[in-house]
A and B are shown apart, each in its own frame.
Chain A
Amino acid sequence: MVERGDRMIPRFWRKIKYRYDIVGSVCENCGSKFYPPRNFCPICRRRSKIKEQRFNGRGKVLSYTIVHDTPDEFKLNKPYIVALIELDDGPIITSQVVCNPEEIEVGMRVVKTFRKYFEDGEDGVIYYGTKFVPEKIATNAKNF
Chain B
Amino acid sequence: MERVAIIGVGQSKFGELWDKGFREIVLRAGIDALEDAGLEGKEIEAMYVGNMSGGRYLAQEHIAALIADYSGLSEMGIPSTRVEGADASGGLALRQAYLSVASGLHDVVIAAGAEKVTDVGSEMTTDIMASSADREWEGFVGATIPALYALMARMHFTRYGTTPEDLALISVKNHKNGVLNPKAQFRREISVDDVLNSPFVAEPLRLLDCAPLSDGAAAIILANERVAKEYTDSPVYIKACTQASDYLALQNREDITTMRAVRIAAVMAYGQAGLTPEDIDVVELHDSFTIAELIAYEDLGFVEKGRGAELIREGITSLKGSLPTNPSGGLKACGHAIGATGIRQAVEITYQLRGKAGKRQVEAETGLSLNIGGTGATAVVTIYEIG
Which A residues have a C-beta under 8 Å from some C-beta of B?
2, 4-6, 11, 15, 19, 34-36, 62-72, 74, 77, 79-80, 82-84, 91-96, 106, 117, 127, 129
Contact = CB atoms under 8 A, between A and B. Distances in A.
Nearest to B138: A94
Interface residues of B, number: 36
B383 to A, nearest CB: 29
A91 to B, nearest CB: 7
Given A63-B155, A65-B202, A129 B143 contact: no
Interface stretch (B83-91, B107-115, B128-136): B128-136
Interface string B184-218: 00000000000000011111110000000000000
26 contacts: A2-B124, A4-B127, A19-B140, A62-B155, A63-B151, A63-B158, A63-B256, A66-B200, A66-B202, A67-B202, A67-B203, A68-B199, A68-B203, A70-B142, A70-B144, A71-B126, A79-B200, A80-B142, A82-B143, A82-B147, A83-B151, A94-B141, A94-B143, A94-B249, A94-B251, A106-B158
A117 B142 CA distance: 9
A82 B203 contact: no
Interface in B319-356: none
A82 B150 CA distance: 10
A64 B135 contact: no
A63 B154 contact: yes
Closest 7 CB pairs of A and B: A65-B150, A66-B203, A69-B201, A63-B155, A63-B151, A68-B200, A63-B154
Contacts of B203: 65-68
A72 B127 CA distance: 9
A91 B251 CA distance: 8
